[in-house]
Structure 1
Amino acid sequence: MQEDNFETIAIRLQAERSQHKEHSVPLYLTSSYKFDDAEEMRALFANEKEGNVYSRYANPNTSELIEKMAALEGAEDGWATATGMAAIFTTFAAFLGNGDHVLSSRSVFGSTHQLLSAVFPKWGITYSYADLDKQEQWIEGIKPNTKMIFVETPSNPGIDIIDLEWLAKLAKQHNLLLVVDNCFATPYLQQPIKLGADISIHSATKFIDGQGRTLGGIILGTNKLMRIIEGFARHSGPAMSPFNAWLMSKSLETLAVRMDRHCDNALKVAEFLESHAKIKKVMYPFLPSHPQYAIAKKQMKQGGGIVTLVIDGGVAAAGAFMNKLKMFSISANLGDTRSIATHPATSTHSKLTEEERLQVGIEQGTIRLSIGLEHIDDILRDISQALD
């Protein structure tokens, strides 16, 4: 039998209806659950029977979101966390211990860098970086104590791409976990697990919610790996709230149509910026000028909603441009219906040294644009007047 398409799964997969026969899944705002008798309580806590015991462990709303995300990404199971960084921290902490080493892409979100450089070394966990576009660094970077490979692709904010099929084969050759931050692409544009990754992570705060309303994170993978995640998360408590899970699950119903618009708008913005005299550099996966354009076309459905540019004139010119924007919001968030401009060097990646920023392509004139769902003519007009 033919499987349903992405859009249909995102809309039609939902929790079992109650006796009220509601069309839209209700909120389950409960911290705990009632057991029929003492034996049922014992069986549930002994994992001899499936069911809800406490909302820090599971809730009908979080369970629906996980099931839907797993189906969309091609995973067996998942876990929902309070934030995207909680998802990254939980994944690292659940699988790594004293003496382990992580090989990570150099271009990662600022808070991920802080975890690797400032938090986990206190636990005896070490790390090293490799550039996404240099395969020899990945091959040479694997040590006897390496346990995990972690990548963002596309990266934040440099929009670097790595061939996930190639990296998955390398990881399997060395019996390493391959963990992919899939936040920028979403399951609609890229499915790392189908390309060979072991775990895919999302900051659901971004395009999954898509409206700048709430926080959340998702971890996806095999049943076996998710039981390890569950063992850590149930007791450390980075749980997503039922309300946020309900919002995210409803947002997934429009993910495909939203991402189509984000991508259409972003490509037009990238093409416009590339032809502008004041722009030093533009990074967007589906621009033929992107160094990894062929890889992006192979493993992504479209180019995503993020465009990164470097403006001539450094931090002063970047600030002047952002201050002249009238419709764009100046914010550190992304993936919103509203277009957003961010200066990474003074916000999301401000804790990196200047040398570290330059190593991942963040100059003082670098600006990250999260292209929203407004009419493209209005977006381009705002950018044009700010540049002029």
Structure 2
Amino acid sequence: PTNPTLSLVDLRRWAEAAHRVGALVVVDNTFATPINQRPLDRGADLVVHSATKYLGGHSDLLAGVVVGGADRMRELDPQFALGAPLDPFAGFLLDRSLKTLAVRMERHNAAGAAVTAALAGHPAVRAVHYPGRRDAAEEAIARSQMRGRGGMVALSLRGGASAVPAFLARLRIVQVAASLGGVESLVSVPAETSHRHLTATELAARGIDPGLVRLSLGIEEPADLVRDLGDALDASLGA
């Protein structure tokens, strides 16, 4: 899934097209994780993860991962392509976290499905962005290559940018922060954070409107998250 609109592409189709012209296919699988999607099985040459996010899962380490077949990995210059070695304590924390990745992703998947289903019809929501929701073709892609849809959800607020402050101020469980993939639920405003360097025209071309908020749903009780977000959406209606 892309950041922050969670749209999908057919990995196998793109890999086949790239290989026909001799190009390598590198997939950032941070949002999906290996639990929900396996790009190497769909023809990708390399897969990268920000292990700081879901693989780490507790917002307490900085790490990155590059994965590929043995022959492909031997072609990489470790210092140039992989950077500095991971420090020992971060390695310890990452090893700890990987033991619970599958369990955590089940909870993230459940939260994403619950929030999407419950809030799609809210009057304050203009659009819900979640893997497979764009149209029937994307739903078919999601079914074919994803085992779960994940805990990342984006909401386009009907009130636009003016509705965002009231929405954020009313949240009690979901915290305002720019990271993602941890056990705590977080929300950010891409137009003001991760994508703030883009012009209004560039944001619009990517489907990022000023009233879009990106949610990284944690492992809290899904019903509590639905209630918290619903209250915040109610508050945004009067903004």
- Give the TM-score normalised by structure 1: 0.58
> Retained in 1: the 8 A contact 2:189–2:214?
yes
CA distance in 2, matches of 1:237, 1:336: 24
Decide which of 320, 323, 337 is 2:183's aligned counterpart. Answer: 337
CA distance in 2, matches of 1:350, 1:287: 25
CA distance in 2, matches of 1:238, 1:265: 35
Match of 1:280, SS state, is: strand
Deviation at 1:239, TM superposition (A): 2.2
Decide which of 232, 241, 250 is 2:96's aligned counterpart. Answer: 250
CA distance in 2, matches of 1:240, 1:284: 33
Tell me the amino acid that sits aligned with residue 93 of structure 2. L
1:180 is aligned to 2:27: yes
1:206 is aligned to 2:60: no
- Within 5 Å, give how 1:25-36 maps onto structure 2: none
- Within 5 Å, give how 1:111-130 maps onto structure 2: none
Match of 1:318, SS state, is: helix
Residue number in structure 1 paired with 2:65: 218
Unaligned runs of 5+ in 2: 235-239
Residue number in structure 2 paired with 1:285: 131
Match of 2:27, SS state, is: strand
Q: How many residues align?
A: 234
> Retained in 2: the 8 A contact 1:180–1:201?
yes
Tell me the amino acid that sits aligned with residue 204 of structure 1. A
Deviation at 1:344, TM superposition (A): 0.3
Tell me the amino acid that sits aligned with residue 66 of structure 2. I
State the Cα deviation string for residues 200-230 of structure 1 (Å, max 9, x = none): 0000011001111111100011223222323
Unaligned runs of 5+ in 1: 1-153
Match of 1:229, SS state, is: coil
Decide which of 262, 265, 284 is 2:108's aligned counterpart. Answer: 262
CA distance in 1, matches of 2:45, 2:208: 29
Residue number in structure 2 paired with 1:300: 146
- Within 5 Å, give how 1:106-145 maps onto structure 2: none
Deviation at 1:287, TM superposition (A): 4.2
> Retained in 2: the 8 A contact 1:283–1:290?
no
Residue number in structure 2 paired with 1:275: 121
> Retained in 1: the 8 A contact 2:152–2:217?
yes
CA distance in 2, matches of 1:184, 1:353: 25
Deviation at 1:385, TM superposition (A): 1.2
* Structure ranking higher on relative contact order (CA contacts 8 Å, 6+ apart): 2
CA distance in 1, matches of 2:137, 2:61: 34
Tell me the amino acid that sits aligned with residue 91 of structure 2. A
> Retained in 1: the 8 A contact 2:132–2:141?
no
1:361 is aligned to 2:204: no
Residue number in structure 2 paired with 1:312: 158
State the Cα deviation string for residues 85-129 of structure 1 (Å, max 9, x = none): xxxxxxxxxxxxxxxxxxxxxxxxxxxxxxxxxxxxxxxxxxxxx
- Within 5 Å, give how 1:58-137 maps onto structure 2: none
> Retained in 1: the 8 A contact 2:184–2:217?
yes
Deviation at 1:295, TM superposition (A): 0.2
Residue number in structure 2 paired with 1:30: none
Between 1:360-369 and 1:378-387, the stretch displaced more is 378-387
CA distance in 1, matches of 2:77, 2:71: 10
Match of 1:177, SS state, is: coil
CA distance in 1, matches of 2:136, 2:219: 24
TM-aligned CA distance change 1:288 to 1:173, over 3 Å: closer
Deviation at 1:246, TM superposition (A): 1.5
State the Cα deviation string for residues 223-252 of structure 1 (Å, max 9, x = none): 232223234448x84322121112111111
Q: RMSD between aligned alpha carbons?
A: 1.6
Between 1:330-339 and 1:376-385, the stretch displaced more is 376-385
Tell me the amino acid that sits aligned with residue 186 of structure 1. T
Tell me the amino acid that sits aligned with residue 191 of structure 1. R
Q: Which has the larger radius of gyration?
A: 1
Identity in percent: 39
CA distance in 2, matches of 1:366, 1:333: 16
> Retained in 1: the 8 A contact 2:37–2:145?
yes
> Retained in 1: the 8 A contact 2:132–2:138?
no
CA distance in 2, matches of 1:371, 1:158: 15
Match of 2:75, SS state, is: helix
CA distance in 2, matches of 1:238, 1:293: 39
CA distance in 1, matches of 2:86, 2:77: 13
